């Protein structure tokens, strides 16, 4: 086998183990070295991941691992999100004693490795093992601030919810294996096509419960606000972008490759509508910025599900649905990771996560406030920001698939979200600060905010090359 085809995985594995050794050898004051090595290593991982976009699609390891442009795209997304989160984590731990700083940097890279493998898994057993690997790392990261009761609570809650979701998903996998006699996704598809539809619907529901937990779909979303609030802000950012993107990749591959379209497609559409509506409705009353972004993340998952529904409802138009989801996820990585980076900066400068305490933030930290404004406008879907084109693509895919009602629900929810997203902007700019002394975000945080806000604007102003990229990556391997 040509090792180039798994070069990103090999490099990330070596990098993760290397960071583990460096972390053990460095003293308490040298943990930032672990972070910088991780950032440089992840940047180097972009090259082999990008090279796989041009590889012809194929299956490796007895058909268990897919090499296609779809998986390569999500490898890029996972690595990019890891870079942004590592930079945010380094800013978060600057001057903060304790918190297992070096271990957090190392586990973030380990989690990137798991996300990369999740997007390419083409076998139920491998997919389950990778999801469990990512989940266990997530639980540890969520509770990594041992001195913080909320962080410990977040880790415990995440673990218990995740254990139940994994058990349900594994039960669904056993249904699929029992029906098809194989765990390979590409052999399951033809065998399930002639199987009784009610059985397939039950299997799809059980699988969706497990993957829906990772995506924060309603009604599998209960863990999201508490974990997002309690976990360190950089970890929360990683859960909201990297983990969500890889889970969408796994869900799309399972639904498109292994499960034939059937009666479960309307259920999927209803879940998308309910998820975006519940997320936006509950976000309206939130006073804590992390809880607001948690419910926002739930709503964003509902928008992304529109593309998945369009994919499964019209397999002949796979390109439009998948391309819409891919573009949205790429834009969402920079937008949401950037928003949580501002939360990290505000925690350091203001000592609070309460939205009301952001009063006058625009005058005290102009760069962070401007970046937050860009991110809030993007999450709303206002041009010329990245998620405007993302939502336009998703709603267009819904219309092409005959799901006009779902597109209308998405538009109405986007309009409703304007209230709480712009509410943050209003607090930052419309009121005079109690403390007018200017505050510095720090050089590393300024670089991170410029990169994230710049990418959000570039994706919105000049989307053409990125549209070509996602169209290329939407060629999901199906044999």
- The predicted-structure confidence for 447-465, as pLDDT tens digits, reads as follows 999 999 999 999 999 988 8
Phi/psi-derived region of residue 382, left when phi > 0, alpha when psi is between -120 and 50, beta in every other case: beta
Size of the chain in residues: 479
| pLDDT at residue 479 in the model | 43
Mean pLDDT of all residues in the chain? 86
**pLDDT one-digit tens code per residue, 286-328:** 899 999 999 999 999 999 998 888 876 665 555 567 888 889 9
Q: What are phi and psi of 197, to 5 degrees?
A: -60, -40
Looking at the predicted structure, is the pLDDT value of residue 242 above 50?
yes
Mean pLDDT to the nearest integer, 391-411:
88
Mean pLDDT for 396-419 is 89
Pair of tokens at residue 168: 């349900």
Q: How many helices (H) and strands (E) does the chain have?
A: 20, 2
For residue 40, the surrounding DSSP H or E stretch is helix 31-51
Angle subtended at Cα 321 by Cα 469 and Cα 301, rounded to the nearest 5 degrees: 95
Burial grade of 29 (CB within 10 A; 0-12, 13-18, 19 or more) = exposed
Q: Which two tokens stand for residue 205?
A: 């529901």
Alpha helices in 69-148 (DSSP H): 69-93, 101-120, 124-142
Residue 171 has pLDDT above 80, yes or no: yes
Q: Which pLDDT belongs to residue 81?
A: 93
Q: Does the pLDDT at position 55 exceed 90?
A: no
- Least reliable range by pLDDT among 66-75, 80-89, 117-126, 252-261: 252-261
pLDDT beyond 60 at 477: no
SS3 275: helix
Q: Sorting pLDDT into bands at 50, 70 and 90, what band is 467?
A: confident
% of the chain surpassing 70 pLDDT: 93
Task: Give the pLDDT confidence score for residue 443 in this predicted structure.
Answer: 83
Q: What is the DSSP code (8-state) at residue 57? A: P
The reported pLDDT for the residue numbered 398 is 86
Return the bridge partners of 288, or none.
Answer: 354
**Model-level pTM greater than 0.85?**
yes
How does residue 379 score in pLDDT terms, banded at 50, 70 and 90? very high
List pLDDT tens digits, range 59-116. 888 888 988 888 999 999 999 999 999 999 988 887 666 558 888 999 999 999 999 9
Looking at residue 435, its pLDDT comes to 61
| Rounded-to-integer distance, Cα 28 and Cα 32, Å | 9
Mean pLDDT value of segment 328-341: 92
**pLDDT exceeds cutoff 70 at 231:** yes
Query: Over the stretch 183-220, which tens digit does the pLDDT of each residue have?
Result: 888 888 888 877 777 787 888 888 888 888 888 888 88
* Confidence at residue 314, expressed as pLDDT on a 0 to 100 scale: 60
């Amino acid at each position: 086998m040509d090792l180039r085809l798994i070069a990103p995985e090999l490099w990330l594995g070596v990098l993760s183990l290397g960071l583990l050794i460096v972390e053990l050898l460095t003293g308490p004051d040298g943990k930032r070295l672990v972070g910088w090595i991780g950032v440089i290593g992840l940047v180097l991982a972009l090259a082999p991941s990008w090279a796989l976009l041009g590889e012809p699609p194929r299956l490796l390891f007895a058909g268990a691992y897919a090499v296609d442009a779809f998986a390569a795209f999500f490898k890029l997304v996972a690595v990019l999100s890891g870079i942004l989160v590592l930079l945010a984590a380094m800013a978060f731990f600057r001057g903060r004693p304790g918190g297992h700083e070096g271990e957090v940097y190392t586990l973030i890279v380990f989690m990137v490795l798991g996300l990369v493998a999740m997007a390419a898994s083409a076998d139920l057993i491998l997919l389950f093992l990778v999801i469990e690997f990512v989940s266990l790392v997530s639980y540890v990261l969520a509770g990594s601030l041992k001195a913080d009761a909320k962080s410990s609570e977040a880790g415990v809650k995440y673990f218990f919810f995740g254990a139940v979701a994994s058990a349900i998903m594994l039960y669904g996998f056993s249904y699929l294996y029992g029906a098809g006699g194989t765990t390979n996704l590409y052999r399951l598809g033809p065998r399930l096509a002639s199987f009784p539809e009610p059985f397939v619907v039950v299997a799809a529901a059980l699988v969706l419960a497990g993957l829906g937990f990772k995506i924060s779909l309603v009604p599998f979303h209960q863990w999201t606000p508490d974990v997002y609030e309690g976990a360190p802000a950089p970890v929360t950012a990683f859960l909201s972008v990297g983990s969500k993107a890889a889970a969408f990749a796994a869900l799309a591959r399972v639904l498109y490759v292994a499960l034939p379209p059937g009666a479960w497609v309307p259920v999927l559409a209803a879940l998308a509508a309910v998820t975006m509506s519940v997320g936006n409705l509950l976000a309206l009353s939130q006073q804590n910025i992390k809880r607001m972004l948690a419910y926002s993340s739930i709503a964003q998952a509902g928008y992304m599900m529109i593309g998945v529904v369009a994919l499964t409802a019209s397999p002949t138009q796979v390109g439009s649905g998948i391309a819409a989801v891919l573009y949205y996820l790429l834009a969402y990585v920079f937008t949401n990771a950037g928003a949580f980076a501002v939360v990290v900066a505000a925690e350091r400068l203001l000592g609070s996560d309460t939205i009301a305490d952001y009063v006058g933030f625009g005058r005290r930290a102009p760069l962070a406030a401007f970046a937050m404004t860009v991110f809030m406008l993007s999450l709303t879907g206002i041009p010329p920001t990245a998620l405007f084109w993302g939502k336009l693509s998703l709603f267009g895919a819904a219309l092409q698939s005959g799901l006009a009602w779902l597109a209308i629900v998405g538009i109405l929810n986007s309009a409703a979200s304007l209230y709480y997203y712009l509410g943050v902007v209003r607090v930052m700019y419309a009121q005079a600060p109690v403390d007018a002394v200017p505050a510095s975000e720090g050089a590393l945080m300024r670089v991170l905010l410029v990169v994230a806000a710049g990418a959000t604007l570039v994706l919105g102003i000049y989307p053409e090359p990125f549209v070509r990229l996602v169209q290329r990556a939407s060629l999901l391997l199906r044999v």
